[in-house]
Amino acid sequence: MMPDTNNGQSLNAITVILVLAEQDALEYLQSILTFIDCDIHVPESPEDLGRLVERFSDRSVAVFLSGQLPDKERSAYLSMIGECTPRPALIQIQEKSGEEMLVSGDVLGILRLPCQYDAISSLMHKAQVFAESQRHGEAPRRPLELFRSLSGNSRATHSINKMIEQVADTEATVLILGESGTGKEVVARKLHYHSKRRGRPFVPVNCGAIPGDLLESELFGHEKGAFTGAITSRQGRFELAEGGTLFLDEIGDMSMHMQVKLLRVLQERTFERVGSNKTVHCNVRIIAATHRNLEQSIREDNFREDLYYRLNVFPIDVPPLRERVEDIPVLVNDLIQRIEHEKRGSVRLTPAAVTALTHYRWSGNVRELANLIERLAILFPYGVVDVGELPEKFRVGIPVPVVETSEEEVLPVVSTHGDQPNTVSSMPRLPAEGLDLKAHLANMEQSLIRQALEESNGVVAHAAKKLKMRRTTLVEKLRKYGLQRGQELTGL
């Protein structure tokens, strides 16, 4: 294992301050960080931490803070970190495997012990970017998987942005609907950013990722001794979000028992910590999201109808990426810029490669696109990716443009992948005398439609499937070109 330099900077360029609860965990992290030549310091108090941050203000500083510290001690360290200028990156440490932790909005990430090198490397690179942005007076950068804006040129994206503008500055509860990976949390964060609560916390919680028996404690907090393992009192997400926004992601996965408790909070704006009978008043705006059909869940007795109507005051439906392919060029550019800004390399895509991406179904939506761009940046660092360099599933069905060329011109290279011939490996060159692009594309479209019909024995539905389009769209094109099923095309 060697120091990581993939992003152009070694990990030893960052000063690490360790604040841990247990000596074994401290020694474990010290041994790993020493091996990769990090500059390590262990403060004796919050004031000592402040002096260390000031001493190394010209360098990137990351604080590794244990989630198992007593609340009072942890709060003192968090308060000191908040007062530091520039503010160091904050990474929360989970010292014991399987122990649930409460994460504050200022935490850059969580490192669970024992850890793998890749995990610590990734977090420290993010810490470098964060710390550098603080030193240069820039706003904190969010991780790559979270987007700062709803990007795109499609009518659907413009409509969603308009709805966000209309409802953001109100107190209405918003229900965001859409498939996984479409950007529901992006919408939630933008709603918070443009609201009057912008200066207060935005606290997300994934209701589907937390076991049902722990979700109540996670949302409402617990008192010391409330259950086995509750060695200290802890605040819940509602208290952490006081004055701000609580984002309940995957609300459709919440148990019926918790739905009842959540409904009471929405109605009365009060709750009790687990193990306490003291009523706590809360001032929190609720934004919920789910990929499930809640109306279907109501019919199946998996979701309370009264809670649904409490949440569904202002619904925002985020369509899948395959229904807003006009957004893909903008999103590709946005994702590349973020990789560059986080010093994770760079890559460029040719127009043909971007066009190929618009033909893909994107079952994973924007998250899948983000993963692809990150993968290409690793495979082709600072390179240019054409259609031929895309993973095979993104190239299937992309036709080869046929262009008349002179003897000196280079024809496109055609490769065959299984039963999918005629995929593009490189783009054709424009003839020296030019061409009528509109007529050329129309001829190409007619040729491909003819091939699809011939291979489908004239069955329009089967031909449409081969062409990855709706049957009604193909029927419209047949009418446009005056074609009939099975008819030979002329003039091609």
| pLDDT over threshold 90, residue 313 | yes
SS3 62: strand
CATH of domain 434-492: 1.10.10.60
For 101-106, what is the mean pLDDT?
54
- Whole-number pLDDT of residue 404: 41
Lowest mean pLDDT among 38-52, 130-144, 427-441: 130-144
CATH of domain 322-402: 1.10.8.60
pLDDT digits (tens, 9 = 90+) for 128-155: 756 665 655 444 444 433 444 578 889 9
Rounded Cα gap, residues 321 and 220, in angstroms: 35
| pLDDT over threshold 90, residue 302 | yes
- Whole-number pLDDT of residue 276: 85
Q: Which of the listed ranges 13-17, 205-209, 403-407 does the model predict with the highest average pLDDT?
A: 205-209
Burial grade of 127 (CB within 10 A; 0-12, 13-18, 19 or more)? buried
Q: Report the relative pairing of strands 14-19 and 60-66 from DSSP bridges.
A: parallel
For 376-399, what is the mean pLDDT?
84
- Whole-number pLDDT of residue 406: 39
- Say which residues have a Cβ less than 8 Å from residue 223's Cβ, sequence separation at least 6: 230, 233, 273, 274, 275, 276
For 169-189, what is the mean pLDDT?
94
For 428-432, what is the mean pLDDT?
59
Q: Report the relative pairing of strands 420-424 and 348-349 from DSSP bridges.
A: unpaired
The DSSP 8-state label assigned to residue 398 in this structure reads P
Residue predicted with more confidence, 261 or 402: 261
For 332-360, what is the mean pLDDT?
87
Q: Which among 169, 147, 150 is positioned nearest to 285, based on CA atoms?
A: 169
Place of tokens 């262009």: 403
- Band of the pLDDT at 325, cuts 50, 70, 90? very high
- Whole-number pLDDT of residue 290: 97
- Whole-number pLDDT of residue 141: 42
Task: Give the containing element (helix H, strand E) for 93.
Answer: strand 89-94
Domain ranges of the chain: 11-135, 155-319, 322-402, 434-492
- Whole-number pLDDT of residue 329: 92
- Whole-number pLDDT of residue 455: 82
- Band of the pLDDT at 402, cuts 50, 70, 90? very low
pLDDT digits (tens, 9 = 90+) for 250-279: 999 999 999 999 999 999 999 988 888 889
- Whole-number pLDDT of residue 149: 56
CB atoms within 10 A of CB 327: 23
For 195-222, what is the mean pLDDT?
89
For 428-434, what is the mean pLDDT?
62
| pLDDT over threshold 70, residue 43 | yes
- The CATH fold assigned to 11-135 is Rossmann fold (3.40.50)
Lowest mean pLDDT among 68-82, 142-156, 310-324: 142-156
- Band of the pLDDT at 71, cuts 50, 70, 90? confident
- Whole-number pLDDT of residue 133: 54
- Whole-number pLDDT of residue 22: 87
- Whole-number pLDDT of residue 398: 63
Rounded Cα gap, residues 36 and 22, in angstroms: 22
Q: Are 154 and 111 in contact (CB under 8 A)?
A: no
For 234-238, what is the mean pLDDT?
89
Residue predicted with more confidence, 98 or 177: 177
Rounded Cα gap, residues 74 and 409, in angstroms: 69
What residue type is assigned to position 408 of the chain? Answer: E
- Band of the pLDDT at 42, cuts 50, 70, 90? very high
| Predicted TM-score (pTM) of this structure | 0.54
Tell me the β-bridge partners of 286.
Answer: 246
Lowest mean pLDDT among 129-143, 240-254, 441-455, 463-477: 129-143
DSSP string, 418-471: TTEEEEESSPPPPPTT---HHHHHHHHHHHHHHHHHHHTTT-HHHHHHHTTS-H
| pLDDT over threshold 90, residue 38 | no
Give the percent of the chain with pLDDT over 90.
37
- Whole-number pLDDT of residue 397: 61
For the chain, give the mean pLDDT: 80
Structure tokens at 455: 């291979």
Q: Which of the listed ranges 39-48, 129-138, 343-352 does the model predict with the highest average pLDDT?
A: 39-48
- Band of the pLDDT at 24, cuts 50, 70, 90? confident
Give the percent of the chain with pLDDT over 70.
80
Task: Give the containing element (helix H, strand E) for 31.
Answer: helix 23-35
Domain 155-319 = CATH 3.30.300.160: no
Q: Are 263 and 304 in contact (CB under 8 A)?
A: yes
For 427-435, what is the mean pLDDT?
61
Asked if 11-135 and 155-319 have one fold, the answer is: yes
